Structure 1
Amino acid sequence: MATLDFIHISIADQRLYGFADGRLLLRLPVSTALNGVGEQNGSGCTPRGRHQVRAKIGAGLPLAAVLRGRRWTGEIWSAALAEAFPGRDWILTRILWLSGCEPGRNRMGNVDTFRRYIYLHGTPDTEPMGKPLSHGCIRLRNVDIEQLFPQVPVNCALVIDEAPCPDWAAIPLD
């Protein structure tokens, strides 16, 4: 399993593209914010621009482990648990916590991605992928975030933008 050195999130495609040494190695469906793109604190939008993975949380947890406040609650997501807590924004399995790299755009002040708690994280399998529905984070299938997690080092470069799939992303995976 290769270590990724760059991740591109396409809002238009609702896809994550993972690269190592300039080669496309991973293509996963995601769900970004229902409110669209934006950087303001409290907007519920997915922030754009250059980011890095600042922290990795949840190594070794079971699939569908429920995380609140970046800590495992001891629960595993189930339909019964979801029924008991309707409307909860479920953060499951693993967290890749993002930090903006562009002061004034997605770092510091009212546009700070890290202070907004923007993550890549797992979500219930009942939630659709490929459709913007999150509260600002980038949601992935639990099996996908579990696969992605060990391939992403802390400080891995990540770009979130509105551009559709560039030509290189249509290339078959290595």
Structure 2
Amino acid sequence: MNRPKLNIIISISDQLLALYDSDRLIKSYPVCTAKNGAGELFGSECTPRGKHIIRAKIGAGQLSGSVFVGRRFTGEIYQHGFAKSQPNRDWILTRILWLSGLEKGKNRLGQVDTMRRYIYIHGAPDELVTSTPSSHGCIRMLNTDVIELFDRVSVGSSVLINE
């Protein structure tokens, strides 16, 4: 069975991710983007703008709350309160959609390469997915939402990130 080619539009200003089938809105999800705002430079901890694709899907079949480091499951399952006890840890949970830029010189290659910056759409603790930008550049989602999105999109699905 072939899946329809769905596309994603992320609004940094609205902190929303919208899933479309062509021009038809399927669903919107709350997200949390970078505390440092929009930007593409390596080391900026900003959310990159422009046209991207999903290059890889990681975490299929893992439990909600599964903790990932370096795109590998650590064996941990996130428990409420871990974020308070380990406030400097960047919690990447449940599923990872690894993004790759399509615009050479803007978000692809050199010092602006989204994939080399390890920018993901990923699950996060519920208390860290607020309407206030606070990530290190990635797009954080609620775990239940990222599972649903992960199961609907494919490698190669387009992702447009707008301010």
- What's the TM-score once normalised by structure 1's chain length? 0.88
How many Å separate the matches in 2 of 1:144 and 1:29?
Answer: 9
- SS in structure 1 opposite 2:128? coil
**Other-structure match for 2:52:** 51
Q: Summarize the alignment of residues 38-117 of structure 1 with structure 2, pairs less than 5 Å apart.
A: 38-79=39-80, 81-117=82-118
CA contact (8 A) 1:5 1:21 kept: yes
Q: CA deviation at 1:78?
A: 1.1
5+ long unaligned stretches in structure 1:
163-174
CA contact (8 A) 1:4 1:151 kept: no
After superposition, the Cα gap between the structure-2 partners of 1:42 and 1:96, relative to the gap in structure 1 and judged at 3 Å, is same
- Count of matched residue positions in the alignment of Structure 1 and Structure 2: 161
Aligned-pair RMSD on alpha carbons? 1.3
**Other-structure match for 1:6:** 7
Q: CA deviation at 1:26?
A: 1.1
- SS in structure 1 opposite 2:27? strand
- What's the TM-score once normalised by structure 2's chain length? 0.94
CA contact (8 A) 1:14 1:130 kept: yes
How many Å separate the matches in 1 of 2:84 and 2:7?
Answer: 38
- SS in structure 2 opposite 1:143? helix
How many Å separate the matches in 2 of 1:127 and 1:146?
Answer: 17
